[in-house]
Amino acid sequence: MNRVTIAIVLFFGTALYLYWQVQVKQSQKENNLPSVEQPDYVATDLRSAEFNEQGLISSRVTAKHMEHYQDNNVTLFTQPVYIVYGTDRTSPWRITAEKGQFQKDMGKVYLQGDVTLQAVDLQEPLQSVNTNALEMDLITKTMTTEEMVYIKGNSFNSQGKGMFADKNAQTIRLNSQVTGTYEAK
């Protein structure tokens, strides 16, 4: 073999080796990128109803946008509106928020951003509850928060830090820093 042939073989061998190294490094970079989880289901202008064992409506939900992730059984909502009924089937609450997350395994909904509970019936003594975040258990119909809570009723206003609400017992308890004003009739 002459020198020119050896030089050509070495040149192409080196080029092939360098090309292979670049491909390996690019493959490693692609593998190191965090994977973006894609939703299994997506809905726009969602409308859904949940029924109890007796076939009676338990809750309704509407949302501007919904994404469901099957792997961790989580559903994300944009601008959700929940209508929650108690065991007595009267005076449901309408609950709105900017964002929501439903954990199906636990039966819990986590709402964030301008959360408002409103009485559907205008004759109810409690008309609205406002807070920034709320955890709602759809099984027991209880709601909790550690945020500031502002309550408006027919002839009273109240506020406090933290809340426990039970739709079935029709009670709301503020945890601390409670103040209120009441109108005499």
pTM higher than 0.75 for the full model? no
pLDDT for 34: 59
Task: Considering only residues 148 and 53, tell me which one the structure prediction assigns the higher pLDDT.
Answer: 148
CATH number at residue 124: 2.60.450.10
Residue 109 binned pLDDT confidence (cut-offs 50, 70, 90): very high
User: Each residue of 1-57: pLDDT tens digit?
Assistant: 677 787 787 777 788 887 888 887 777 766 665 556 788 888 899 898 888 788 878
Q: Are residues 89 and 135 in the same domain?
A: yes
62 and 24 housed in the same domain: no
Alpha carbons 144 and 74: distance in angstroms, whole number: 20
Do residues 23 and 113 share a domain? no
Domain range enclosing 18: 1-33
Q: How far apart are CA 148 and CA 162, in angstroms?
A: 6
- Model pLDDT, residue 16: 80
Total domains, the chain: 2
Tokens read off for 172: 């709301």
* Contact of 40 with 69, CB cutoff 8 Å: yes
